């Protein structure tokens, strides 16, 4: 449910951005019954061989996955761009209707999963630019015009992604274990502990307050230090890195989520990246930190379509 809510918020932002760029369907002045929903962009020659019966479901039943091909421009480059698309009913995907629907967790969870499945299907076999939820165009002509207008930019991004995948690293913290680790390593904390155990009631109270405050502050500093170590180490075995936002309420089997990263990794260098992540896991475990490697994912965090 939390994932669906996060997807809904991201989708709503994407829909609003699409409205500003003029590509989301309007409810007025339009007679057509359908619009074109876009999943990702790639090269025509790479994508067309993967059209077939084994494809995942489109966003809406009977929408039908297809490629919308840009016009070739042999003078600039023989490479031809194409967008993976399907049709969606215009009444449901007009601007106001769509903004309301993306706040419905049940509706959004199903469509977000279908969107991800389509992008993942093509990304597993070709270099694609994944589009976030909500890229809707009124007709094929507008899609072709977009591909042509942004041809140089899109081709450069596709070239950047060739032979590369996005991998995620989530960092979890066992807060009690971390607190014990940092306090056991502190001489001052040891003195406060003794004072709390053997001092007068007033002295013991103040010592406990200082001891607790020290544990909070030292834990915070240690998490920051270790996250920097993880980021720098994995940057060294990848081509690009991004530190992602962490929601305060997120947690997992290994404790509270304290860090999220995305890394762009060449496929032929993944073993090296994985070995570095395992080494960091081993070195961070005594302090109560655990690393979770996720992926490969379409490179959402390294493109700006």
In a domain, 224, yes or no: yes
Which pLDDT value is given to residue 27? 44
Is there a single domain that holds both residue 259 and residue 130? no
Which pLDDT value is given to residue 19? 45
Is there a single domain that holds both residue 250 and residue 120? no
Is there a single domain that holds both residue 154 and residue 19? yes
Distance CA 12, CA 18 (A): 10
Is there a single domain that holds both residue 111 and residue 257? no
In a domain, 211, yes or no: no
> Mean pLDDT, the chain, as a whole number?
82
At which of 134, 162, 190 does a domain end?
162
Residue 232, pLDDT > 80, answer yes
In a domain, 19, yes or no: yes
Is there a single domain that holds both residue 123 and residue 76? yes
Which pLDDT value is given to residue 246? 87
Residue 242, pLDDT > 70, answer yes
Exposed/middle/buried for 69, CB within 10 Å: 0-12, 13-18, 19+?
middle
Is there a single domain that holds both residue 138 and residue 10? yes
Is there a single domain that holds both residue 34 and residue 138? yes
Which pLDDT value is given to residue 219? 77
Looking at residue 43, the DSSP 8-state letter turns out to be E
More confident residue, 202 or 50: 50
In a domain, 143, yes or no: yes
Residue 112, pLDDT > 90, answer yes
13-62 tens-digit pLDDT? 454 444 444 455 544 444 558 899 999 999 999 998 888 778 899 999 88
Q: How confident is the model at residue 157 (pLDDT cuts 50, 70, 90)?
A: very high
Buried b / exposed e along 6-41 (16+ C-beta atoms within 10 A): ebbebbbebbeebbeeebbbeeeeeeeebbbbbbbb
Query: CB–CB of 42/82 below 8 Å?
Result: yes
Can you give the CATH number for the domain in which 290 is found?
3.30.70.100
59-87 tens-digit pLDDT? 998 888 999 999 766 565 678 999 999 99
In a domain, 264, yes or no: yes
Torsions phi, psi of 222, nearest 5?
-70, -40
Distance CA 47, CA 129 (A): 12
Is there a single domain that holds both residue 269 and residue 296? yes
In a domain, 20, yes or no: yes
Is there a single domain that holds both residue 108 and residue 173? no
In a domain, 183, yes or no: no
Which pLDDT value is given to residue 29? 43
Number of domains in the chain: 2
Distance CA 153, CA 130 (A): 14
In a domain, 194, yes or no: no
Is there a single domain that holds both residue 172 and residue 24? no
Q: What is the mean pLDDT of the segment spanning 207-232?
A: 80
Is there a single domain that holds both residue 37 and residue 153? yes
Q: What is the mean pLDDT of the segment spanning 276-285?
A: 93
Q: How confident is the model at residue 267 (pLDDT cuts 50, 70, 90)?
A: very high
Which pLDDT value is given to residue 15? 46
Is there a single domain that holds both residue 32 and residue 148? yes
Which pLDDT value is given to residue 124? 86
Q: Which domain holds residue 267?
A: 165-177+220-302
């Amino acid at each position: 449910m939390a994932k669906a809510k996060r997807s809904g918020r991201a989708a709503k932002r994407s829909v609003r951005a699409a409205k500003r760029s003029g590509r989301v369907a309007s409810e007025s002045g339009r007679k057509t019954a359908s619009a074109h929903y876009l999943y990702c962009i790639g090269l025509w020659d790479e994508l067309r061989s993967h059209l077939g019966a084994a494809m995942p479901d489109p966003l809406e039943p009977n929408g039908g996955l297809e490629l919308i091909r840009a016009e070739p421009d042999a003078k600039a480059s023989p490479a031809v761009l194409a967008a993976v698309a399907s049709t969606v009913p215009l009444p449901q995907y007009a601007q106001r209707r769509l903004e309301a629907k993306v706040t419905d967790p049940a509706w959004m969870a199903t469509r977000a999963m279908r969107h991800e499945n389509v992008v993942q299907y093509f990304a597993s076999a070709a270099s694609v630019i994944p589009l976030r939820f909500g890229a809707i165009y009124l007709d094929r002509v507008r899609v072709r015009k977009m591909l042509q207008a942004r041809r140089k930019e899109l081709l450069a991004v596709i070239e950047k992604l060739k032979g590369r995948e996005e991998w995620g690293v989530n960092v979890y913290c066992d807060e009690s274990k971390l607190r014990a680790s940092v306090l056991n390593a502190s001489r001052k904390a040891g003195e406060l502990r003794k004072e709390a155990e053997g001092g007068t009631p007033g002295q013991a109270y103040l010592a406990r307050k200082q001891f607790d405050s020290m544990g909070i502050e030292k834990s915070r500093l240690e998490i920051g230090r270790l996250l920097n170590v993880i980021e720098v180490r994995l940057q060294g075995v990848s081509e690009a890195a991004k530190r992602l936002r962490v929601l305060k309420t997120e947690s997992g089997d290994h404790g509270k989520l304290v860090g999220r990263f995305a890394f762009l990794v060449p496929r032929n260098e993944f073993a090296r990246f994985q070995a570095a992540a395992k080494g960091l896991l081993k070195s961070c475990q005594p302090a109560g930190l655990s690393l979770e490697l996720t992926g490969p994912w379409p490179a959402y965090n390294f493109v700006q379509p």
